[in-house]
């Protein structure tokens, strides 16, 4: 990993990435529900909600789901130190799923435009899992309803790593512009601010990198 | 409202409030599960998780619940503009509740130490609702199990407003130090960074206030 570029993203950069993507998300997707993949999707989803809010309309509801990627050998990948990004794994485990009881049940997602939010698209394993499992649940609800309505899932991530993916998303989603990454970059090691032990040092490293890149 | 102090909280301040509270939370509460009240609890819960992580242990799972406070006249309080804090109301509405299916069912909360996280304790209405409803669900699960184990709910908020509260928390929770506010302040108008339209301006206003207060 020694050769991999380390990227330090500040909170204000995360805020601005959400802000600049909001116009495109409203125009191209106009979501009626957000699903935040926790923990990484919590911060961008909350920020995005502020920018997606439209005059005279209530906030877009956020549902949180919890997904974790584990390595085959979990014992060896227990990076207990904040500041050390978690090693991406291969097996997805749920810690929380949708609870639509307060929003009219799963039937109420049928026919809606749903935006899935996460911080990073690394191997794409988690996103593939989320889309497939959500589509399965929605399809079951659609059949219960006997409805013909199509549910449109879209994705927003702060960063997409341009690398060989292990997971796959529906071609139609990507072709129709329903996959939005605020930034696409190489296989960098991304340090998000909510993982920083020392946020001032984190910001200093981000500023240093910015001034190096400006030269 | 003209006389109410306006407080601008930066992301890095939120980060540091979580960081400095983490030691106390680990020592006094040592939570096994976090419940983030969305949307305001999402950001502090995610940050806190980094600082609560202990060597050799997995992350503490976060469950998100969605609660909104509405005014009696929802039509008039639709602040559609980011940057304008939402007006606190009196009626709590659920948009998401726990989904413990992946964590062994509600029965698996019985006997656990659970930390409820939100950004602000204003009228206390939302927190009272959360604690009461969670206790109700846990009590039902305890009875199903025929268990005698006690579930310990605690609360962490970034800011507690020292004002007449409309909601109440169990006396025993407060007396035993299971209510933690990183800061207690007067009835200020708190602007959190995730609501800011212009985050640079927000930071500038925060810095101005800090330099005024330092004089």
ipTM of the complex, rounded to two decimals: 0.89
pLDDT in tens, A135-169: 999 999 999 999 999 999 999 999 999 999 999 99
> Quick one: pLDDT band at residue A12, thresholds 50, 70, 90?
very high
> Quick one: pLDDT band at residue A74, thresholds 50, 70, 90?
very low
**A122: which 2 tokens?**
């690394």
**B30 in Cβ contact with B113 (< 8 Å):** yes
Q: B47 and A93 in contact by Cβ < 8 A?
A: no
Per the DSSP assignment, residues forming a β-bridge with A70 are A91
Q: Average pLDDT of chain B? A: 90
Mean pLDDT of the A84-94 span? 69
Q: Which residues of B are catalytic?
A: 122
pLDDT of residue A71: 55
> Quick one: pLDDT band at residue B56, thresholds 50, 70, 90?
confident
Listed in sequence order, the residues at least 6 apart from B23 whose beta carbon sits closer than 8 Å to its beta carbon are none
Listed in sequence order, the residues at least 6 apart from B50 whose beta carbon sits closer than 8 Å to its beta carbon are A82, A194, A195, A196, A197
Query: What is the SS3 assignment for chain B?
Result: CCCCCEEECCHHHHHHHHHHHHHHHHHHCCCCEEEEEECCCHHHHHHHHHHHCCCCCCCCCEEEEEEEEECCCHHHHCCCCCCCCCCCCCEEEEEECCCCHHHCCHHHHCCCEEEEEEEEECCCHHHHHHHHHHHHHHHHHHHHHCCCCCCEEEEEEEEEECCCCCCCCCHHHHHCCCEEEEEEECCCEEECHHHCCCHHHHHHHHHHHHHHHHC
pLDDT of residue A55: 81
Give pTM, 2 decimals: 0.90
pLDDT of residue A23: 94
Q: B38 and A64 in contact by Cβ < 8 A?
A: yes
**Cβ-count burial B166-187 (b if 16+ within 10 Å, e if not):** ebebeeeeeeeebbbbbbeeee
Per the DSSP assignment, residues forming a β-bridge with B91 are B70
Q: Helices B199-214 and A11-28, interaxial angle, to 10°?
A: 150
Which percentage of chain B shows pLDDT scores above 70?
A: 89
Q: Evaluate if residue A26 carries a pLDDT over 80.
A: yes
Q: Evaluate if residue B68 carries a pLDDT over 80.
A: yes
pLDDT of residue B18: 98
pLDDT in tens, B105-137: 889 999 999 999 999 999 999 999 999 999 999
Mean pLDDT of the B70-91 span? 54
Cβ-based burial of A35 (10 A; exposed 0-12, middle 13-18, buried ≥19): buried
Mean pLDDT of the A115-124 span? 97
Closest CA to B131 of B145, B151, B158: B151
Q: B11 and A66 in contact by Cβ < 8 A?
A: no
Q: Which residues of A are catalytic?
A: 122
> Quick one: pLDDT band at residue B42, thresholds 50, 70, 90?
very high
**B171 in Cβ contact with B189 (< 8 Å):** no
H runs (alpha helix) in A99-124 = none
| Residue A81 near chain B (CB below 8 Å) | yes
pLDDT of residue B78: 45
pLDDT of residue A1: 45
Q: Report the C-alpha gap between B168 and B164 in whole angstroms.
A: 10
pLDDT in tens, A95-110: 999 988 888 888 999 9
CB contacts < 8 A (A, B) = 162
Q: Between residues B72 and B171, which one has the greater pLDDT?
A: B171
Q: Evaluate if residue B82 carries a pLDDT over 80.
A: no
Q: Kindly report the CATH number that applies to the domain delimited by A11-184.
A: 3.40.50.2020
H runs (alpha helix) in chain A = 11-28, 42-52, 125-145, 171-175, 199-214
pLDDT in tens, B150-193: 999 999 999 999 999 999 999 999 999 999 999 999 999 999 99
pLDDT of residue A105: 86
**B66: which 2 tokens?**
């969605």
> Quick one: pLDDT band at residue A69, thresholds 50, 70, 90?
confident
**B163 in Cβ contact with B201 (< 8 Å):** no
| Cβ contacts of B93 on chain A, cutoff 8 Å | 102
| Cβ contacts of A63 on chain B, cutoff 8 Å | 64, 66, 95-96
Q: Between residues A58 and A127, which one has the greater pLDDT?
A: A127
> Quick one: pLDDT band at residue A79, thresholds 50, 70, 90?
very low
- Domain locations in chain B as residue ranges: 11-184
B interface mutation test: which of A102, A103, A197 has the most B CBs within 10 A?
Answer: A102
Segment among A49-58, A63-72, B35-44 with least mean pLDDT:
A63-72
Q: Average pLDDT of chain A? A: 90
């Amino acid at each position: 990993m020694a050769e991999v570029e380390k990227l330090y993203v500040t909170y204000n950069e995360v805020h601005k990435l959400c802000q600049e993507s909001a116009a495109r998300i409203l125009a191209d997707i106009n979501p009626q529900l957000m699903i935040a993949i926790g923990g990484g999707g919590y911060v961008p989803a909350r920020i995005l909600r502020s920018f997606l809010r439209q005059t005279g309309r209530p906030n877009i509801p956020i549902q949180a789901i919890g997904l974790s990627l584990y390595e085959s050998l979990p014992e060896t990948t227990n990076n207990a130190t904040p500041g050390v990004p978690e090693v991406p794994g291969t097996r997805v485990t749920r810690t929380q799923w949708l609870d639509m009881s307060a929003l009219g049940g799963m039937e109420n997602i049928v026919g809606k435009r749903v935006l899935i939010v996460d911080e990073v698209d690394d191997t794409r394993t988690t996103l593939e899992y989320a889309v497939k499992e959500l589509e399965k649940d929605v399809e079951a609800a659609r059949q219960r309803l006997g409805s013909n309505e199509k549910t449109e899932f879209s994705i927003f991530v702060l960063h997409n790593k341009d690398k060989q993916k292990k997971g796959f998303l529906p071609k139609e989603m990507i072709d129709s512009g329903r996959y939005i990454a605020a930034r696409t970059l190489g296989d960098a090691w991304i340090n998000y601010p909510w993982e920083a032990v020392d946020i001032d040092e984190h910001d200093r490293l981000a500023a240093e990198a910015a001034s190096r890149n400006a030269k």
